[in-house]
Amino acid sequence: MKTLFCLLALAVITQSAVLVDKSATARNNINIGGFYPSDRLLSRSYVYRPAVANTIQYEDFIYRGNATTRISAIQVTEQGYTQYASAWIRSGGLGYPNVTIGFQSLRGYGYYYLVDIWGR
């Protein structure tokens, strides 16, 4: 009876592990910081590169604010179907007036991101 229960529990655990949605984990989005009613949208830009066969593409997105503005939130969201690209913050960021965000595609793919920068 105990072995039957253990086998049944093992079957339930392995079945639930199979039901994980892998498409949600494939996206590489950046959401750091928080914005409040006193904050404003400093920049909204789309970063796009179409797919090129057998090529790895990369690009740096640079936002430069004035000296008195401080960034409070950065949102980088992949648009459309995932193309398995990477996005990361290279320099600057929260509390700074500027930020540099790097983008890189997989070989043979492109990328399409929406970049929102909030601050006060």
Question: pLDDT of 42-62, one tens digit each?
Answer: 999 999 999 999 999 999 999
d(C-alpha 33, C-alpha 93), whole Å: 9
Helices (H), the chain: 2-18, 22-25
Q: How confident is the model at residue 22 (pLDDT cuts 50, 70, 90)?
A: very low
Domain segments of the chain as ranges? 27-119
For tokens 């830009």, what's the residue?
45
pTM summary value: 0.76
Identify the CA nearest to 106 among candidates 76, 83, 80, 90. 83
Model pLDDT, residue 82: 86
